[in-house]
Amino acid sequence: MVLSRWMMAIGGSTLAGLAGHALYRRALARNPVAVLDAADRLLHGGKTGVEHVATARFGPDPAQRLEVHRPSGTAPDAALPIIVFIHGGAWDSGRPQDYRFIARALAPAGYVVVLAGYRLLPEGRWPVMLQDGARAIRWVHECCGALGGDPARIVLMGHSAGAYNALALALDGRWLAAEGLAANALAGAIGLATPADFLPLDDPASIATFGHCTNLATTQPIHHAHAGAPPLLLLHGADDPRVKPRNSLALAAAMTDAGQPTTAQILGGIDHERIIMAFARPFRRETRPLAAVLAFLARVSASPAVHSWPR
């Protein structure tokens, strides 16, 4: 294993100090998420408190794949709230299996965690990634009840491009409706560094993903803000140069203006990568993102009374 070779090279360094070592930082720069997940797994020492209970396809493409994780020892009829996490990667990279550290961070608190993939560029141009997200949510509704989850309590969560997918699905009801899902099918949505208002298109990733659209405004989550939407948690690093904090601030203001008071939490000293890295053990000294997510989840998933599969 690559990480084992790094440990040998590091010599006397401890796992607790791994995050600050130059070799580790260089490896993170080359293949950040896979390395981050491997380090998280090692630091758990095999005692994660989480079991991987299913890998499934929700479509014919290899990228239409998801994994289901739950607290160890969960009974199939436990009816735990479900978190569907959608990875980032500028819509052109990323795999669900590289984000198992998210499941290790959240499932022990009493959640079934689904890591959902989607088709990537060049095939995955808008709205393909949203269609795939809606299909994944339908799969969760139909199948997770037998895996210990409660389909009446699903919260979407994503980082960066994945946060765009999550918030677009939560606010623009046409994608869930196309899969036969009710408007109230989600208990909430969490965006970490969400691109919510990024016109004009000004970088290669957004141009490749959205440049073909004839009505760009309809692609922006900010233009779908409305009262009655699922509750939103918007977290953003104050030092994020890639997706600037104004995206979350603008969406929060639009939601509030629409009649659903929403606040964006802007976290000082955090950039675009650190906000997701904070969920992995090597970087857990930064406690604010995980604490905010767990507090929001506890609030919006407390009752299964109002979120239902359509009859």
Check pLDDT > 70 for residue 56.
Answer: yes
How far CA 153 is from CA of 71, 98, 141, in Å, comes to 16, 25, 10
Expressed in angstroms, the distance from the first to the final Cα of the chain is 49
Q: How far apart are CA 65 and CA 258, in angstroms?
A: 35
The two tokens of residue 230 are 């699922």
229 domain-assigned: yes
HSE (side-chain half, CA atoms, 13 Å) at 146? 4
Residue of 135, 110, 113 lying closest to 124 (CA atoms): 135
Classify 41 as helix, strand or coil: helix
Check pLDDT > 60 for residue 291.
Answer: yes
Check pLDDT > 70 for residue 310.
Answer: no
- Binned at pLDDT 50, 70 and 90, residue 32 comes out as confident
153 domain-assigned: yes
Range of the domain at 276: 49-300
C-beta neighbour count of 63 within 10 angstroms: 18
pLDDT at 21: 56
309 domain-assigned: no
pLDDT at 26: 58
**Among 239-253, 269-283, 292-306, which is the least confidently predicted range?**
292-306
To the nearest 10°, the Cα dihedral for 238, 36, 206, 254? Answer: -40
- Region 270-299 average pLDDT: 97
Q: At what angle do helices 32-44 and 22-30 cross, to 10 degrees?
A: 130
Classify 237 as helix, strand or coil: strand
C-beta neighbour count of 31 within 10 angstroms: 12
Helix (H) or strand (E) holding 129: helix 128-143
pLDDT at 7: 37
135 domain-assigned: yes
Q: How far apart are CA 243 and CA 148, in angstroms?
A: 35
Check pLDDT > 70 for residue 158.
Answer: yes
pLDDT in tens, 183-237: 889 999 999 999 999 999 999 999 999 999 999 999 999 999 999 999 999 999 9
- Phi then psi for residue 152, to 5 deg, are -85, -5
Q: How far apart are CA 136 and CA 131, in angstroms?
A: 9
Check pLDDT > 60 for residue 6.
Answer: no
3 domain-assigned: no
131 domain-assigned: yes
pLDDT in tens, 99-113: 999 999 999 999 999
244 domain-assigned: yes
pLDDT in tens, 109-142: 999 999 999 999 999 999 999 999 999 999 999 9
**Among 13-22, 88-97, 158-167, 259-268, which is the least confidently predicted range?**
13-22
Check pLDDT > 60 for residue 16.
Answer: no
pLDDT at 47: 83
Instruction: Find the CATH number of the domain harbouring 193.
Output: 3.40.50.1820
How much of the chain, in percent, has pLDDT values that exceed 90? 81
Could you list the beta-strand ranges (E) of the chain: 50-57, 65-71, 80-86, 112-116, 149-159, 188-192, 232-237, 264-267
- Binned at pLDDT 50, 70 and 90, residue 172 comes out as very high
127 domain-assigned: yes
Count of domains for the chain: 1
Check pLDDT > 90 for residue 245.
Answer: yes
- In this structure, the chain runs to a length of 311
Check pLDDT > 90 for residue 25.
Answer: no
Q: Name which residue leads in pLDDT, 167 or 1.
A: 167
